[in-house]
A and B are shown apart, each in its own frame.
Chain A
Amino acid sequence: QKEVEQDPGPLSVPEGAIVSLNCTYSNSAFQYFMWYRQYSRKGPELLMYTYSSGNKEDGRFTAQVDKSSKYISLFIRDSQPSDSATYLCAMRQTNFGNEKLTFGTGTRLTIIP
């Protein structure tokens, strides 16, 4: 079983819809949770970053972390065609020296105009 599970999609929604992307994980030591967006043939770019449980909002994006359920979500409101990309969840532990990120497989999202 992978440490981080993410539905690879593809997911297609009409422009303006609310998008919900999710990941589950098995390692309770994960403390930092991130969402990256990756356009085709580009490197990932950091979208959202959350420490421990809770919500964080940035414009049209909201990240949620539920550590009790080992479940994280990214919501995109008023989705735009420019949001079409692959979205990767990532997480890491806090202890010094273990700085690597563990990624989900990514969900390919298409926003239909």
Chain B
Amino acid sequence: GAGVSQSPSNKVTEKGKDVELRCDPISGHTALYWYRQRLGQGLEFLIYFQGNSAPDKSGLPSDRFSAERTGESVSTLTIQRTQQEDSAVYLCASTPRGRLDADTQYFGPGTRLTVL
């Protein structure tokens, strides 16, 4: 079946512009996570959705970052007034029960964001 998909796969933008990154989770998965991976770094947690509510937003680095989710479906991560330090790969993951659990592979391929 289809895995987690993300779009666009690559995004190049100018400093100060807004960007929207999209994640389509696996159908029926209730939980969705956004992570950021900077060059040579591990994944940093950004935000977690259970359904369309976000119990944990603690990883969002500033108020320029926001995310929303429609039901148990698509999520959009928005970065306003982008800065060069926002350049990274943004990864989305989904799970059926709110836990990144065993025996599953639920990460999307990521969106590579470059801010010039």
Give the interface of A toward B (CB within 8 A): 4, 6, 8, 34, 36, 41-46, 49, 88, 90, 92, 97-106
Contacts and interface: CB of A to CB of B under 8 A. Distances in A.
Contacts of A104: 42
A101 B91 contact: no
A103 B43 contact: yes
B1 interface: no
A90 B91 CA distance: 15
A35 to B, nearest CB: 11
Interface of B: 4, 31, 33, 35, 40-45, 48, 55-56, 58-59, 91, 93, 98-110, 112
Given A4-B42, A8-B40, A92 B100 contact: yes
A65 B48 CA distance: 26
A97 B50 CA distance: 9
B109 A43 contact: yes
Given A4-B42, A44-B43, A101-B35, 19 more contacts: A8-B40, A36-B107, A41-B110, A43-B91, A43-B110, A44-B107, A49-B102, A88-B43, A90-B43, A97-B55, A99-B31, A99-B56, A99-B99, A100-B48, A100-B56, A103-B42, A103-B44, A104-B42, A106-B42
A105 B56 contact: no
A6 B59 CA distance: 20
Given A6-B42, A46-B102, A88-B42, A99 B109 contact: no
